[in-house]
């Protein structure tokens, strides 16, 4: 049982990832919240962790490859990815957090992640450079790719409803249970053309 909070972070640096065959992924991170740069642990479900990877451009691609390498390895559980020597920065999406223990900032549950606009990334740039140094605004290619991703999620949802799935099941299977993401996916699907890969 998590405890709701209005806490949201828009940048964090990952030093270590731990996961196994359960639905949880643990990340040791540094992030700024409540006016200070702190170390804490973020807990993701695999679904939300997958959203983080998809919305995070180059950092997401690198971490996804590291996760895949672990899954294909013969290592025993839990899988541990230690990247403290070269931590990955995630500064292209926001994460909404809940407390696991009331007012305990040593560990948070990540409720959802949402991509940040280029304008918001630009607004965050000075603070992120101060906190993390090697920061850049994610380029338009990755932002466009993220919008294409969520647009295709909405089109998948529509296809499922046409197969007579009820709305809740269709949203769950398409990864759109979150209302904000559902609305974003709807608008993306209405404004973005179908990519060549989706036509095939």
**pTM over 0.75, yes/no:** no
Beta strand pairing call for 12-19 and 79-82:
antiparallel
Q: Give percent above pLDDT 70 in the chain.
A: 88
d(CA 54, CA 46): 12
Q: Taking Cα atoms as reference points, which of 47, 58, 118 lies closest to residue 90?
A: 58
d(CA 50, CA 137): 21
Show Cβ contacts of residue 177 under 8 Å, excluding neighbours closer than 6 positions: 168, 171
Greatest Cα-to-Cα distance within the chain, rounded to the nearest angstrom: 52
The yes-or-no verdict on residue 170 having pLDDT over 70 is yes
The predicted-structure confidence for 119-129, as pLDDT tens digits, reads as follows: 788 788 778 87
Would you kindly state where each structural domain of the chain is located, as residue ranges? 8-132, 140-188
Average pLDDT on 77-92 reads 92
The predicted-structure confidence for 49-72, as pLDDT tens digits, reads as follows: 999 999 998 899 999 999 999 988
């Amino acid at each position: 049982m998590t405890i709701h909070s209005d806490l949201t972070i828009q940048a964090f640096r990952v030093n270590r990832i731990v996961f196994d065959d359960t639905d949880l992924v643990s990340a040791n991170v540094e992030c700024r919240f409540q006016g200070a740069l702190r170390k804490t642990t973020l807990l993701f479900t695999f679904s939300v962790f997958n959203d983080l990877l998809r919305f995070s451009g180059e950092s997401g691609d690198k971490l996804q490859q590291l996760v895949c390498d672990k899954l294909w390895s013969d290592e025993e559980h839990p899988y541990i990815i230690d990247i403290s020597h070269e931590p990955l920065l995630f500064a292209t999406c926001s994460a909404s957090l809940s407390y696991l223990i009331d007012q305990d900032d040593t560990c948070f549950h990540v409720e959802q992640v949402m991509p940040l606009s280029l304008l918001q990334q630009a607004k965050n740039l000075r603070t992120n450079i101060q906190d993390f140094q090697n920061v850049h605004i994610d380029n338009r290619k990755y932002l466009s790719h993220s919008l294409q991703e969520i647009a295709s999620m909405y089109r998948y949802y529509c296809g499922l409803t046409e197969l007579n799935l009820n709305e809740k099941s269709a949203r769950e299977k398409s990864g759109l249970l979150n209302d904000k993401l559902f609305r974003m996916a709807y608008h993306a699907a209405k404004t973005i053309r179908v990519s060549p890969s989706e036509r095939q």
